[in-house]
Amino acid sequence: IEAEAVMLGQPLYILTPKVVGFKLTGQLREGVTATDLTLTVTQLLRKHGVVEKFVEFYGPGLTNIALADRATIANMAPEYGATMGYFPIDAETLNYLRRTGRTEQEVTLVERYAKEQGLFRTDETPDPEFTETLELNLAEVVPSLAGPKRPQDRVALSEMKQSFESALVAPVKERGFGLGQDDLNKTGVVKDNGHRAQIKHGAVVIASITSCTNTSNPSVLMAAGLLAKKAAERGLKPPSYVKTSLAPGSKVVTEYLKEAGLLPYLEQVGFGVVAYGCTTCIGNSGPLPQPVADAVTEGNLVAAAVLSGNRNFEGRVNPFVKANYLASPPLVVAYALAGTVDIDLMREPIGLDKHARPVMLKDIWPTQQEVSDLIASSIKPEMFKRSYGNVFDGNPQWNAIPVSGGELYDWNAASTYIQPPPFFTDMTLDLQPIKPLGKMRVLAIFGDSVTTDHISPAGNIAENSPAGQYLLSLGVKKADFNQYGTRRGNDRVMTRGTFANIRIKNLMVPGVEGGVTVHYPSGERMSIFDAAMKYKAAGVASIVLAGKEYGTGSSRDWAAKGPYLQGV
């Protein structure tokens, strides 16, 4: 919303933020990835509290962190709650510019400017002064995942099995799944082309290497490729019910994976390139195969997804997946091979090789030296020049899209994607007096950690949701629903999608998941959208009650616009 206001010529007022200094010392241990470090940082900063603050990373440990790893950490700022996270310019910054095809003149300009401004960091640079500080010894970081419902809920790999089993029986309000003892042993059967596979709680039905930073980070992608190579050579493959995918962060990634000879091995274990851009992390993995969805439904299973994205909020990845874990790309491949998160990969075999011998994770985990050697031999500046040299030319599909031209958009009343927004309909030049609020109805009552994904989901549009029913009424087939994120230019879809997350829990309707509420004074149970429209039509203002961390998570303008248009 702030960006849109500035684009329309309005000033943006911000208070000078507090700056939190995060000191890094030491060096990561063998077998620990940049993703493990990022999840650890996210946990520590969310616990410390950095909302509306800047986070600057500093300290001698920066010398041991590659720029791509720094970008992975900085990119998680929305998840740890900061306005931004950033690193100083130093020799590693200049080396990255050279490695990615910048001219020596450009590199020299960056270096000179940073030094003249006093922004260039060296090992001798004294620690800056900050409002608050934290410190982490990189040697203390261990292989980790985060989940099953929030990116700050880090779980050490060594404790993963115990953590998942505890989450199964933990109360929902404590971020568990609230299963009773009788439900723990339920199973489902995947029946596909005469084959039968029994699955239980924790079955990995989606495993995806997907994200804008993890999939542009050579260290973890090369590690994933090497792990896939070693697994393929041992004859390991994911079970048939695991939906796997690789969405590289750029075409350069595909090029250096090919150059390293790793792409065929990734494809061999199911991780072929499916797209470039937002995929599984935003709910764009597509539907589960029907036999898998049926098996999950049959046993009412807590199925799992393991992905290398930044966000795992409830209802975001897939409607049939309740447990979502963030992990490094090599761990994504490992869990795909295992087919379950209900496993101790530090002590139990990941599977059996072609000779029926058990294979442990440590047997196929690449060394840091193997990863470094491949990066040095496979990634060349020319790759970046080729890929980005014509980035603004577009591709044939993009250039073939018909446009009317002109300075103003030609509104199409039949479009289900873009409609003129109603925000300025009743706007006047005169400032309206502030009216007292009274006689309001409670539209919904939520607990803590209601994220922007709960308020305004960006992924799948359910057929039986208000937005789904609206699209059907316009003749849009279910297969063409696309998702909320692609229809954000249509307020009629997005207002109906507000509070429509399939996992949101309105305390006015105990034991029910989804965007449902009770309308008063009728006492009728209906969708939150329908109730909001009834209140609005009757001239009754509505209010939403929620606990702490309401509105955290992804930047999502419709998490503010949607409730406004519902009359909240």
Q: Are 460 and 283 in contact (CB under 8 A)?
A: yes
CA nearest neighbour of 538 among 523, 520, 526 = 520
- On the CB side of 345, CA atoms within 13 Å amount to 24
Distance CA 565, CA 495 (A): 6
What does the alpha-carbon distance between residue 247 and residue 284 come to, in Å, rounded to a whole number? 11
Q: Residues of 201-210 as b/e, b for ≥16 C-beta within 10 angstroms?
A: bbbbbbbbbb
| pLDDT given at position 143 | 98
Q: What are the tokens at 531? A: 């109730």
Higher-confidence position of 269 and 436: 269
pLDDT digits (tens, 9 = 90+) for 514-554: 999 999 999 999 999 999 999 999 999 999 999 988 998 88
For 59, 103, 115, the CA distances from 112, given in Å and listed in that order, are: 22, 14, 5
CA 54 to chain centre: 21
**Mean pLDDT of the region 487-498:** 97
What pLDDT does residue 521 have? 95
Beta bridge partners of 159: none
What's the confidence (pLDDT) of residue 387?
Answer: 87
Q: Is 90 exceeded by the pLDDT of residue 504?
A: yes
Number of residues assigned to the chain: 568
Q: Output DSSP code: residue 483.
A: B
Strand partners, 204: 304
**Residue ranges, CATH 3.20.19.10, the chain:** 441-565
Integer Cα distance of 496 and 6 in angstroms: 27
Q: At what angle do helices 218-233 and 34-48 cross, to 10 degrees?
A: 130
CA distance 374 to 379: 8
- The enclosing H or E element of 152 equals none
pLDDT at position 327 over 80: yes
In whole angstroms, what is the distance from residue 142 CA to residue 139 CA? 8
The tally of CA atoms less than 13 A away on the side-chain side of residue 222 is: 24
Which CATH number among 3.40.50.10490, 3.20.19.10, 3.40.50.300, 1.10.760.10 corresponds to the domain 441-565?
A: 3.20.19.10
pTM over 0.85: yes
Mean pLDDT, residues 272-299: 88
SS (H, E, C) 330-388: HHHHHHHHHCECCCCCCCCCCEECCCCCEECHHHHCCCHHHHHHHHHHHCCHHHHHHHH
- Give the model confidence (pLDDT) of 422-459 as tens digits: 988 878 888 888 888 889 999 999 999 899 999 999 88
Q: How far apart are CA 154 and CA 80, in angstroms?
A: 12
Higher pLDDT pick, 410 / 516: 516
Structure tokens at 185: 């042993």
Over range 244-248, report the average pLDDT.
Answer: 95
Is beta strand 84-86 parallel, antiparallel or unpaired with respect to 53-58? parallel
**Angle separating helix axes 218-233 and 329-338, nearest 10 degrees:** 30
Cα(80)–Cα(554) distance, integer angstroms: 11
List pLDDT tens digits, range 336-379.
999 999 999 999 999 999 999 999 999 999 999 999 999 999 99
Whether residue 403 is predicted with pLDDT greater than 90 in this model: the reply is no
Supply the DSSP symbol for 463.
Answer: T
Cα(517)–Cα(291) distance, integer angstroms = 32
- Looking at residue 447, its pLDDT comes to 93
| Angle CA 475–476–481, to nearest 5 | 160
CA atoms within 13 A on the CB side of 84: 4
Provide the 3-class DSSP secondary structure of residue 37.
Answer: helix
Encoded amino acid at 366, one letter: P
Domain 144-381 has CATH 3.40.50.80: no
For the chain, give the mean pLDDT: 94
pLDDT score for 325: 97
Place of tokens 């699209």: 471
Residue 284 has pLDDT above 80, yes or no: no
Q: Which two tokens stand for residue 74?
A: 């900085």
d(CA 31, CA 26): 15
- Whose CA is closest to 82, among 145, 18, 39, 36? 18
pLDDT at position 287 is 86
Portions of the chain given CATH number 3.40.1060.10: 16-88+125-140
**Phi (first) and psi of residue 198, to 5 degrees:** -90, 130
Host H or E run for residue 519: strand 516-519
For 538, what's the count of Cα atoms within 13 Å in the CB-facing half-sphere?
Answer: 16
* Helix or strand (DSSP H, E) at 460: none
Average pLDDT for residues 197-225, to the nearest whole number? Answer: 92
Q: List where CATH 3.30.499.10 sits in the chain.
A: 144-381
Q: Is the dihedral of CA 223, 229, 232, 233 positive or negative?
A: negative
For the domain made up of 16-88+125-140, the CATH class stated in words is: alpha beta
pLDDT digits (tens, 9 = 90+) for 102-137: 999 999 999 999 999 999 999 999 999 999 999 999
CA torsion through residues 125, 127, 128, 133, sign: positive
3 state SS of 526: strand
Q: Which two tokens stand for residue 482?
A: 């696309």
Closest CA to 312 of 303, 321, 299: 321
